[in-house]
Amino acid sequence: MSVEKLIGLGIVVICVALVFLFSILKRPGTSLRTIPAVQKLRRAIGLAVEDGKRIHVSLGNANVLEPQGASALVGLSVLERLAEVSTVSDKPPVATSGEGSLALLSQDSLRSVYRESNQLEQYNQHLGRLAGPTSFSYIAGSLPVIKDEEVYTNVLIGHFGPEAGLMCEEAERTNGFSLAASDSLPAQAVFFAAAQEPLIGEELFALPAYLQSSPMHQASVRAQDVVRGVLIGVLVLGGLARLVLAFLGTGF
């Protein structure tokens, strides 16, 4: 086994151990750090349900078989949770995606939520739809959903290109709310400017934990913070070591 693979396996094992450790050691009264965007999302969901408006979840165009699929899987978890809290609304939530397998998974998530809440007759397959198979056609197909389907709350979560800024702009034009998060750097930069509430970096992956307060989810966010802290420590120490060795004239 190569050193890289050994380190990779070690990181996965440590992450699993940390999640178990934090779920066992959960102290009462401890809570996750506040993310203002999530609080505003909760308020926007409440407003959409009260006003009989729709929640739109845009899942991006990642292929679930590729590394970017992780952000799409987070999007599906968020979709499931948002569908659970909005089953009482007059308008069911709608999910758009730019990839076929993601569209099927979104249909499956929505269907399971309606089945568990004994409202299967409210579900129809067009609630989870493929808006377009290419990046631009996906955006072009999603804009009419935001504009014409009485959407108030827009949650863009997954892998996007910078063109997703057009969806945030459309949400702004319809006086709706938009929370946007992506694993892609260009999309994050665009969302910071165009979305009402952007999530940066790993906040995207913490969103399911903030919406579902199961011990395992909360533990995974704490473990994520620990891993991030360790990575920062390793980088800083590596940088310092390199600086010292450069001064000593050895280098590495």
Q: Tell which positions 59-78 bind other proteins, by CB under 8 A.
A: 63-65, 67, 70-71, 73-74, 76-77
Interaction between residue 129 and other proteins (CB under 8 A): yes
Segment near other proteins (CB under 8 A); pick from 25-33, 50-58, 82-90, 109-117: 109-117
DSSP conformational letter for 126: G
Interaction between residue 15 and other proteins (CB under 8 A): yes
Segment near other proteins (CB under 8 A); pick from 26-34, 84-92, 125-133, 242-250: 125-133
Interaction between residue 26 and other proteins (CB under 8 A): no
Q: Is 9 left (phi over 0), alpha (psi -120 to 50) or beta?
A: alpha
Q: Give the SS3 label for residue 251.
A: coil
**What distance lies between CA 59 and its chain's CA centroid?**
8
Interaction between residue 30 and other proteins (CB under 8 A): no
CB 117 within 8 A of CB 8: no
Over the window 184 to 223, marking each residue x when it contacts other proteins by CB under 8 A and - when it does not, the resulting string is -x--x-x-xxx-x---xxx-xxx-x-----x-xx--xx-x
For other proteins, give the closer residue by CB, 55 or 127: 127
Choosing from 21, 32, 47, 104, the residue that interacts with other proteins (CB under 8 A) is: 104
Interaction between residue 93 and other proteins (CB under 8 A): no
CB 224 within 8 A of CB 33: no
Interaction between residue 89 and other proteins (CB under 8 A): no
Interaction between residue 237 and other proteins (CB under 8 A): no
Choosing from 56, 61, 99, 180, the residue that interacts with other proteins (CB under 8 A) is: 99
CB 153 within 8 A of CB 37: no
Q: Which two tokens stand for residue 1?
A: 């086994």
Q: Which two tokens stand for residue 194?
A: 């165009």
CB 32 within 8 A of CB 131: no
Distance CA 87, CA 76 (A): 16
